[in-house]
A and B are shown apart, each in its own frame.
Chain A
Amino acid sequence: MDKLLKQVEKPIRYTGGEINMCRKKLEHIQCRIAFCFPDVYEIGMSHLGLKILYDLYNRRQDTYCERVFAPWVDMEDLMRQNHVKLFSLETKTPISEFDFVAFTLQYEMSYTNILNMLDLGGIPVKSCDRGEKDPFVMAGGPCSYNPEPIADFIDFFVMGEGEEVNIEIVEVYLQWKKQKLPREAFLEMVAQIEGVYVPKFYEYLYHEDGTIKEIKTLNSAAKPVVKKRIIKDLDTLTYPEKWIVPFLNVVHDRAMLEIFRGCIRGCRFCQAGYIYRPVREKSPEKLKKLAESIIQNTGYDEISLTSLSTSDYTNFYNLADDLIAKFKPKKVNLSLPSLRIDSISLKLLDEVNNVRKSGLTFAPEAGTQRLRDVINKGLTEEDILSACDKAFRKGWNVIKLYFMIGLPTETYEDLQGIVDLANKIVDVYYQVPKEERTRGLSVTVSASTFVPKPFTAFQWCGQNDIETIKQKQDFLKKNLTNRAVKFNWHEPEISVMEAIIAKGDRRLCESIYEAWKSGCKFDSWGEFFRYDKWMEAFQKTGIDPTYYSQRQVGLEETLAWDNIDILVTKEFLKKEYQRAMEGVVTSNCRKQCAGCGAAVAGCGVCFEKRGEA
């Protein structure tokens, strides 16, 4: 092993041993979990969910959770040449020797890495080929809400927040183990836990035109509809003890403090906005204690407040002031991503960014008010321009704007709106007296491609074809001519693949298998993504990919993910889709409940008293 490590780039990706890595004596362990992140170490170790679950599992004396990442290609080659199986960082045990191999699904383009990791670990890639001795392969995370495209490879999926359900699964496992029952029996036992989906217990029947006729339940243990799990009261969650601090400089190398889950906004394209409903906050008291314990346990000098939309935390500015006061003497900085930019947040940013002013970010997503109403993005031009004016006067000079192209109902007028908005920001800058502004304005316009996602109001919408997207990108390239404005875009092929897989059904499993067989891996890394290989794989497996990405789906159709319940109802999403087409906005949860269905959870924002904004 050491010989291999000497030949690879960044060997500490594979050695473990970091601050707070959990060490246990194996003889006391009843249940071993290999927590697999299907990407490289630096990306996986930036992920908050991994740290939370690692800590959670390892609090149990009978359970040992270890980490596994996708080896980089140099390491993979050496491992295959030398017959070294994929192993855990903690004890260097091959993943085939674990009780569970658990994958977290953060993005669709990591699916081929899952297949590759199983194969590299000596575990049969397809569930149906696994035997009594093989580990159970499970998966959770945001992408598991549409488990179907990888249903053939995963023994069971976990829907929703993992803190409670994963422990219930361990307990069921221990019972099963004690009773020495066959593999199938465990799947039946686990299928009865709320939030667990065992794909082999379901069968999909299709109409002649390829649409879904029926989703049949094949085993009485399986629930016809699997409901996502949520933690009602986030204050009941434990304080982190074993939060690993990587040696390597990872992507988010700082303490992360999650202040709430969910988002009140309901942007109609946004899957996160729907699947994490309802909004639940941690109390300021809990947060202050949590922050202290994270800093104490990790030694980080920066703590970042994380959520989908930080300024929506109730009394956010009180919390921020308290945290700043608390950490200043300890020389710990506060960082505040996803903050809405306005005069109060600028004042705060001014305070925390006391050295160099980093760029300010706005995500209007669409160029005109009409289209912003369609997508329910409650951010107006007026908001942006007045915030920019104040920011320029305070010395900021770098502005980043995020847009999506190819949104439903988009026309070239909306694209022209992107150009106009960028130009107006430049005008605002030059209207600020020279003495008050910092020299050298930079406005970056980034345009990603709209990807229709399950469990959004746009789940029925088709995506633009590659040609159309390219034309739209060209229009922006041609018209964003101001010297202060930079334009960023991505090749649309990855977004097209994302749409195909995100909205895929079980028939795609064969295509993903074929793509992996033909060498696809690390698809989210531009340098490895091979669109041609994917298209070949679809062709070989008789799949028309545009059926998934471009087709406008009928509102009455059965969707591949209709047997998953995210608490937000399909009826509500339909209503949101229709309102989108009419350009009618829906108010945020705090202003007025829109009746999405998530109130059945019995907690969070749904039960707040509504007053002002």
Chain B
Amino acid sequence: MIIRVKYQKKEEVKYVGHLDAMRTFTRCLKRTNIPVEYTKGFNPRIQISFALPLGVGVTSDLDYFDLALSEKMNIEMFVAELNSVLPVGFKIVGAEYVEDTKKSLMSLVKEAKYKLILDTKASVPEIDAWLKQSEIWFTKEAKEKHQSSEQINLKPMILDDKVMEENGKIAIYLHTTAGSANNLNPQNVIKALKESKIVIEDYEINREELILTKTA
């Protein structure tokens, strides 16, 4: 039985990386009486899968993981019990039982919405013009020494954008493609801005929404 869990990752835990966050959830589940299902084999693990890794330093209003349960549990109780052991900053905001389609949750991720807040001297029209270019290039640094860096055009992954001033800072609302293919990492937008000589003093990124393909 699969329960799809909606959770938030806030300011307090934004530097917890994806793997560390996954480990935190499994440890917290172990501290509850939630009837989790384990994988078979020598090294039994809690059956849990996450939708889309979140970059280090990025907060999120709405993310998902799928968890296998060995028996059905009341949803409110599930949410309350897990919330009682999670570190401050992680919060379960909802859950629902879903049909077990054997498809990974990751493969259902289609689009995402982000809000970027920039501390910059650049103006709204400047940023807007930058986003309206027909191509937005960014250099992806090589991971290994023998590899060379790669040029990536971010533009096709941006479905919609809006720029406005908020509290003396510039807010960019981005609607992007997401998932295992064509995933836009919003931190790369910051890097691309910096590459194009726009001075960014500081920034914040929040994932506002993750949009899944309906599985019916």
Contact = CB atoms under 8 A, between A and B. Distances in A.
A245 B28 CA distance: 10
Contact of A19 (B15, B85, B201): B85
A483 B103 CA distance: 48
A330 B201 CA distance: 49
A323 B16 CA distance: 33
B87 A21 contact: yes
B31 A3 contact: no
Interface string B19-52: 1110110111111000000100011100000000
A330 B30 CA distance: 9
Interface string A1-30: 011011000011001011101010000000
A239 to B, nearest CB: 15
A249 interface: yes
Interface residues of A, number: 27
A494 to B, nearest CB: 29
Interface string A299-321: 11100000000000000000000
Contacts of A245: 24, 27
A130 B145 CA distance: 49
Interface in A239-270: 245, 247-249
Interface residues of B, number: 28
Contacts of A19: 24, 27-28, 31, 85, 87
Nearest to A245: B27
B38 A299 contact: no
Contact of B87 (A6, A18, A249): A18
A17 B87 contact: yes
B100 to A, nearest CB: 22
B53 interface: no
B128 interface: no
B195 interface: no
A3 B20 contact: no
A389 B13 CA distance: 50
A422 B56 CA distance: 47
B80 to A, nearest CB: 17
A298 B56 contact: no
Contact of B38 (A21, A247, A331): A331
B87 A3 contact: no
B93 interface: no
A6 B204 CA distance: 10
Interface in A316-338: 330-331
A299 B20 contact: no
A299 B87 contact: no
A17 B13 contact: yes
Contacts of B12: 15, 17
A298 B23 CA distance: 12
Contacts of B201: 3
B98 interface: no
B27 A12 contact: no
Contacts of A248: 20
B202 A299 contact: no
Given A12-B15, A299-B26, A299-B28, A247 B42 contact: no
B57 interface: yes
A297 interface: yes
A3 B31 CA distance: 34
B156 interface: no
Choose among B16, B44, B85 the residue with the greatest number of A CB atoms under 10 Å from its CB: B16
B202 A2 contact: yes
A295 B32 CA distance: 11
Contacts of B38: 331
Nearest to B88: A17
B89 A17 contact: yes
A296 interface: yes
A15 B57 CA distance: 11
A613 interface: no
A19 B90 CA distance: 11
A355 B202 CA distance: 47
A296 B57 contact: no
Contact of A355 (B23, B43, B57, B85): B43
Interface in A418-459: none
Contacts of B13: 15, 17, 247
Contact of A247 (B16, B26, B43, B88): B16
Nearest to A332: B30
Contacts of A297: 31
A144 B85 CA distance: 38
Nearest to A246: B20
A298 B202 contact: no
Interface string B129-163: 00000000000000000000000000000000000
Nearest to B24: A247
A354 interface: yes
Interface string B81-108: 0000101110000000000000000000
B202 A3 contact: yes
B15 A299 contact: no
Contacts of B87: 17-19, 21, 247
B15 A15 contact: yes
B31 A299 contact: yes
Contact of B57 (A6, A247, A354): A6
B27 A11 contact: no
Contacts of B23: 247, 249
A501 to B, nearest CB: 35
A5 B42 contact: no
B102 to A, nearest CB: 23
Interface string B159-196: 00000000000000000000000000000000000000
Nearest to B31: A299
A5 B89 CA distance: 17
B27 A300 contact: yes
A253 B214 CA distance: 39
Interface string B192-215: 000000000110000000000000
Choose among B20, B26, B202 the residue with the greatest number of A CB atoms under 10 Å from its CB: B20
Contacts of A17: 12-13, 87-89
Given A3-B202, A298-B31, A299-B30, A11 B56 contact: yes
A67 to B, nearest CB: 15
Contacts of A295: 30
Nearest to A301: B30
Given A2-B202, A12-B16, A17-B12, A299 B29 contact: yes
B98 to A, nearest CB: 25
A355 B23 CA distance: 21
Nearest to B44: A331
A299 B30 CA distance: 5
Given A17-B89, A355-B43, 19 more contacts: A5-B15, A5-B57, A6-B57, A11-B56, A11-B57, A15-B12, A15-B13, A15-B15, A19-B24, A19-B28, A247-B13, A249-B19, A295-B30, A298-B27, A299-B31, A301-B26, A330-B30, A331-B44, A355-B42
9 contacts: A2-B202, A5-B57, A11-B15, A23-B88, A247-B23, A247-B24, A248-B20, A249-B19, A354-B42
